[in-house]
Homo-oligomer: A and B are copies of this chain.
């Protein structure tokens, strides 16, 4: 018996939807492909924003806000970029509605001269501003960030992982030369690794994407890749060195120290609400989400066992005092976030709500606890012993002292568990394409867990790479990245048999 009606083993995709729904994270909206983010989901996103925003600022980036609607002509400037996004663009064509034959319709007299695109990403409009703002080498590097909503019209959507509208952060920078731009690109990648591993407790592999998986218009794309509990990969963040492509298309030049006009080298990097999907599939269990304490909007939730009687007042006071005391303490570098749930509902129902949401510590406090100065609690990570819920009772003062340590240990345990799973499911020893075929089969319907393959290749390009991509596609596989940490020597290319030059990760992916 678990808190969710479907388990991971029975049906992983169904289990995922159940967690999203039951943990109060989000729900489908009446707008096709878009979701409503609910309080626990928003609270998690706001924690993410706070943590990442502090790091982005500390490294000298300023926040800006650019228009969401971008003139169509801006996209026509960089050919690869528009090819990459044209098929999923939401287009604004009118600026007024009108009653026509009793029906509300776009007013034909209010058609825009030039259609506007809802930003799928902002390189084009920010590059245009760069070209106006950057005059001299003194203006470089120019480093900015934006928190915004973006729209990519997806035909098959899945909550958090792929929705028509999503929330994200996009960094955009301009530099004097390749070395400086590459340093920024790698800084962003490492910053992403640190937030995703240290705060979200999701282990990732940093690496470079192969040519055919690059961002449209980029010279080099780097990613962090995370393994979900079903063995699939989730691209959890990307950082792009854009070379001078956008600078050429948009005339982003600066006067260098010798007085010449030189093209800037630009970068861009982004992470989004999709990471919440990654957190669910990394840390969720059959009782719902286990929210890493550093990400939990509420780390300690107190459910008073109210009985609608006069004694309730005393119990409420005991809980309120406990919360006030806990909130003076610090854990994981921030003030603790404790909360009393006094909603008008059955205590047992409230407890299960918080289990499904994955509040790290859940205290159920009854009149006897209050009388004895005790706290009875469950740890969301370590909820059960066998099938049974495991609860702990300690003196109130001890609970206040121990709470930061409990949260910090839980944070580490969630990371260690995911790290061990990821490492034990990256397999070596694939020598030929047939080995991949044997291991993965042609789809992921078979019950056996499928992790990632770590293989050597000769890094083909152009048509040869396209052929590799097609062969992998026949197994529903993709190259995730070439990890930054590479071995000292290489065997033969798994695709061509010639001497390899690089190790890459191959997987099924979200």
Interface of A toward B, CB cutoff 8 Å: 29-31, 34-39, 42-43, 45-46, 62-72, 74-76, 82, 86-98, 104-106, 115-118, 125, 128-129, 138, 144, 148-149, 151, 153, 164-165, 167, 344-345
7 A-B pairs with CB atoms under 8 Å apart are A31-B125, A36-B66, A42-B64, A65-B167, A69-B164, A91-B94, A148-B149
Contacts of A105 in B (CB 8 A): 115
Query: A42 near B62 (CB under 8 angstroms)?
Result: yes
For A31, what are the chain B residues with a Cβ–Cβ distance below 8 Å?
67, 69-71, 116, 125
Question: Contact at A65–B93, with CB atoms within 8 Å?
Answer: no
Whether the Cβ atoms of A66 and B29 lie closer than 8 Å is yes
Given contacts A67-B165, A68-B165, A76-B104, 20 further A-B contacts (CB under 8 A): A34-B67, A34-B69, A36-B67, A42-B62, A42-B64, A45-B65, A69-B90, A75-B104, A86-B98, A86-B104, A87-B96, A90-B94, A91-B92, A91-B95, A91-B96, A92-B93, A93-B94, A96-B153, A97-B117, A106-B115
Q: Say yes or no: A30 contacts B71, CB within 8 Å.
A: yes
Within 8 Å by CB of A149, from B36, B68, B129, B344, lies B68
Whether A82 and B104, one on each chain, are in contact in the complex, defined by CB atoms closer than 8 angstroms, is: yes
Chain B residues with CB under 8 Å of A82's CB are 97, 104
In angstroms, Cα B167 to Cα A68, docked, is: 11
Which residues of chain B come closer than 8 Å to A345, judged between CB atoms? Answer: 138
Complex CA gap A69/B91 in Å reads 12
A118 touching B92 by the CB < 8 A rule? yes
Residue from B29, B69, B75 within 8 A of A165 (CB atoms): B69
Residues of chain B contacted by A91 (CB below 8 angstroms) = 92-97, 106
A253 to B446, CA, bound (A): 47
> Judging by beta carbons under 8 Å apart, are B43 and A63 in contact?
yes
B63 touches A30 (CB 8 A): no
A36: contacting residue among B35, B64, B76, CB under 8 A: B64
Taking CB atoms, residues of chain B closer than 8 Å to A46 are 63
A86 touches B92 (CB 8 A): no
Mostly, the A contact residues are mixed
Enumerate chain B residues within 8 angstroms of A69, measured Cβ to Cβ. Answer: 31, 34, 90, 151, 164-165
**A-B interface, 4 closest residue pairs, ranked by CB to CB distance from nearest:** A34-B67, A39-B62, A37-B65, A95-B153
Q: Is there an interface contact between A92 and B95, defined as CB atoms closer than 8 Å?
A: no
Q: In the complex, what's the smallest C-beta–C-beta distance from A118 to chain B, in angstroms?
A: 7
A65-B42, A67-B36 are contacts. A125–B30 as well, Cβ < 8 Å?
yes
A165: chain B residues at CB < 8 Å are: 67-69
Contacts of A75 in B (CB 8 A): 97, 104
CB distance from A353 to the nearest CB of B (A): 14
Pick from B29, B64, B95, B115: contact of A39, CB below 8 A. B64
In the bound complex, how far is the Cα of B106 from the Cα of A105, in angstroms? 18
- Max chain B C-beta neighbours (<10 A), residue from A71, A90, A128, A151: A90
A141 vs chain B, min Cβ distance (A): 12
Residues of B within 8 A of A74 (CB): 30
Complex Cα gap A72–B345 (Å)? 37
Least Cβ distance of A40 to chain B in Å? 9
* Complex interface: chain B residues within 8 A of A125 (CB): 29-31
Q: How far is the CB of A22 from chain B (nearest CB, A)?
A: 15
Contact of A92 (CB < 8 Å), options: B30, B64, B70, B90: B90
The residue in chain B whose Cβ has the minimal distance to the Cβ of A155 is B95
Q: How far is the CA of A35 from the CA of B115 in the complex (A)?
A: 18
Is the Cβ of A63 less than 8 Å from the Cβ of B87?
no
User: Contact: A97 with B89, CB < 8 Å?
Assistant: yes
- Give the distance in Å from the alpha carbon of A91 to the alpha carbon of B29 in the complex: 18
Q: Which residues of B contact A148 (CB under 8 A)?
A: 149
With A74-B30, A125-B30, A128-B30 as known contacts, state yes or no: A93 contacts B66, CB within 8 Å: no
Q: Give the complex CA separation of A76 and B345 in angstroms.
A: 37
Nearest-neighbour CB distance to chain B for A243, whole angstroms, equals 23
Residues of B within 8 A of A167 (CB): 65
